Amino acid sequence: MEKIFRPKSVAIIGASKERGKIGNILVENLQNNFTTHGKNSGLKIFPVNPKGGKLKGLKVYTSVLEIDTEIDLAVIAVPAKFVNKVVEECAWRDQPIKNIIIISAGFGEIGGEGLKRNRKLEELIKKYKLNILGPNCLGVINATDGLNLSFAKSNVTEGAVGLISQSGAFITAMIDTAEEEQFGFSLIASLGNKLDINENDLLDYYAQDEDTKIIALYLENISNGKKFQTKLKRLTKTKPVIIIKAGNSQKTKEAIQSHTGSMAGEASVVQTAIQDAGGILVENLEDFVTIIKVLNNFQIKRLERARQKDGLAIITNAGGPGVITTDLLEKYKLNLHCFTNKEKKGLKQILPEESSVDNPIDLIGDAQEDRYQKTLEFLLKVKGVRGILAIVTPQAQTPIKKIVEVVAEHNKKASFPIFPIVIGGEAEREAEEIARQRGINNFAFPVVLIRALQKIGSWETKQAINDEKKQVKKTKGAQKTLLSYQETEILAKEFGLNILRAEYPKNGKDLTKIITKLGTPLVMKVDSPNIVHKNAKNGVVTGLKTKEEINREFNRFHKDFPGEKILIQPQVESGLEIILGLKRDPSFGLVLVIGLGGIITEILDEKIILTGRVTANQIEAKLKKSKLYRILKKEKIDTKELIRQAGRLFELGLSDEKIVEVDINPIFLYQDKQPIIVDFKILKSREDQ
């Protein structure tokens, strides 16, 4: 990675004299940056093009094999059909070039011939032990050292943000946005097709880079989610990581189309895994940029104080915006500081009689900069205030420039952030200009800032995840089979899961004995790996009370489901219906799901998802933050029983890597007795190859 981001010598293969060509832009960007940036003044550039000649004062080599000196990095920008030949030439040299960025497109993203090129390139990577970024990528930028190895714009603002993106267009948009929004970059990397180097490799490098204080990622898919989550958890202890994960709206095909599969869809698993590891997951570009601005321009250490339990203070020169902001803080679960009587008395001494000294503090419409100054000076001394939202609305006598200058000045003094919120047209534009000159930002709308603070508040050290077990074999393409209830029952009992027993009558005589043994009412089900949804096939009948109706249904089952097993169970008392499930996610491994069952699940979509190495403490911690916990308490049900059953289910999943999905729907919970599992499905992969 050091030779990719800080090379001492670079070969640009596909260098071009034609303006506008990528090979021309790459050479121009390198020259424009390193000649004006002291740290890179010794960089050696070797343009390569079969035509030879000169380019921007540099000798152009006809082949990378012609260069007889050590080269740290090759950047390839030739048509796709020539790329693999060029990669081989890099490896064949007496001094092989092991680190390569492939800008060229035309690989896996186009299918057909592109996939063939992909496979060949993968073979070359393994054969020659190469480190390749791309193909189909924008390149890399080290703004700290003034190194631009991309075909993005030449001069990139230096700063503290390390950007990793699967989209080159996203990078160019962020470079422009950064100039506008007053932040800059340390490192930028375009992942492209991620054939070799991926986000996990880059996170390791960004973690140790001293100039990178904030890490921002745009991802369309995640390579090895379990590894990603582990790295993220370690990294977020020292640096905030903001992530946009695109492609969440695409519905994935679920293994057995169960409630578990529905609740633990790809988007839900990704969200849980990132948040559990302390990452800041956002859904849109506005929040992504706002969070970067807040973290960058209001200092991370001061924001950490704002994340503590005590609250925020609002000062405003208009009651309406203050009330709206208060409502927004409540909506996004951020705390307002509650002023003591002594503090209110102190505020009254410095403010007009008409002012409100509750929180929000209303300075009233004629407030000048001196009133903001006195109030801020007072609040800086109030123990428990962890941040201030300074709202300004443009009234005829409001000196916008002077008020923003006061806010900026006190921002330097405060141990917590003070956010200017100047609302409205020309005033907002004036405030933003003044704020930028002083290294902070104005926020035109409170909701954008408050959403960002709420997301930043979720950046916290999570419980430790134990060392991962070995990577589970991928089951994609393998045969899958649904276990019979009889097989499931054996497994459940082995792991201490309280599953409802079942009897399997072979004939009428057996059936009579079972009726005598179990009593009535009874439940009859078809038990077949070929029938996943029994209700849809009329393969479940409940409430069977008389021998006549039991025998009648038994005969019908034999007729409708020839050759299949039929099971009989006692009909148990209904309790609170809960769904427990497991899903083997292809990226993040085993996922545990707990949710409300029955008709409630249609009304209240409440679920808990856990990834990584799940423990009873983790289950309990998540449960207590959910609406499900309040429902359990209301029904006077012991949560420990649910936690035990969920933990045992997870252990069952760990015991066999061929378990793809499990659906317990429902498990009945009671006030005064053990929970009972009524229906239990296990889907396993069967690899006959």
What does the pLDDT look like over 84-103, one tens digit per residue? 999 999 999 999 999 999 99
Range of 527's domain? 501-570
Q: Judging by DSSP bridges, how do beta strands 589-596 and 607-610 pair with one another?
A: antiparallel
pLDDT-based confidence at residue 42 (cuts at 50, 70, 90) = confident
What does the pLDDT look like over 237-284, one tens digit per residue? 889 999 999 876 544 444 444 556 566 567 888 888 998 899 999 989
Q: Are residues 305 and 426 in the same domain?
A: yes
Q: Are residues 31 and 51 in the same domain?
A: yes
pLDDT (0 to 100) of residue 250: 47
Average pLDDT over residues 648-662: 93
91 vs 65: CA distance, rounded Å: 10
Q: Which of 210, 229, 250 is the last residue of a domain?
A: 250
With a cut of 50, say whether residue 471 has pLDDT above it.
no
pLDDT (0 to 100) of residue 461: 36
Q: Are residues 342 and 222 in the same domain?
A: no
Q: Are residues 561 and 598 in the same domain?
A: no
pLDDT (0 to 100) of residue 39: 59
Q: Are residues 561 and 531 in the same domain?
A: yes
With a cut of 90, say whether residue 600 has pLDDT above it.
no
Average pLDDT over residues 649-660: 93
Helix (H, G, I), strand (E, B) or coil at 241: strand
pTM for the full model?
0.79
What does the pLDDT look like over 498-524, one tens digit per residue? 999 999 999 999 999 999 999 999 999
Q: Are residues 617 and 596 in the same domain?
A: yes
pLDDT (0 to 100) of residue 301: 60
Q: Are residues 583 and 536 in the same domain?
A: no
What does the pLDDT look like over 584-595, one tens digit per residue? 998 899 999 999
Burial class of residue 10 (count of CB atoms within 10 Å of its CB; 0-12, 13-18, 19+): buried
DSSP-assigned letters across all residues of 433-476 = HHHHHTT----S-HHHHHHHHHHHHT--PPPPPPPP-PPPPP-T
With a cut of 60, say whether residue 460 has pLDDT above it.
no
Q: Are residues 98 and 229 in the same domain?
A: yes
Q: Which of 544, 570, 596 is the last residue of a domain?
A: 570
Average pLDDT over residues 617-634: 91
Sign of CA dihedral 404, 408, 414, 417: positive
Distances (CA, A) of 96 to 73, 87, 92, 130, 133: 10, 10, 6, 10, 17
Tokens of 642: 């649910």
396 vs 56: CA distance, rounded Å: 58
Q: Quick check: is 271 in a domain? A: no
Q: Are 533 and 663 in contact (CB under 8 A)?
A: no
Q: How far apart are the first and last CA of the chain?
A: 39
pLDDT (0 to 100) of residue 159: 94
Q: What is the CATH number of the domain that holds 418?
A: 3.40.50.261
- Strand runs labelled E in 264-303: 280-282
pLDDT-based confidence at residue 121 (cuts at 50, 70, 90) = very high
What does the pLDDT look like over 360-386, one tens digit per residue? 999 999 999 999 999 999 999 998 898
SS3 string, 503-552, reads ECCCCHHHHHHHHHHHCCCEEEEEECCCCCCCHHHCCEEEEECCHHHHHH
Domains identified in the chain, total number: 4
Burial class of residue 478 (count of CB atoms within 10 Å of its CB; 0-12, 13-18, 19+): middle
344 vs 94: CA distance, rounded Å: 78
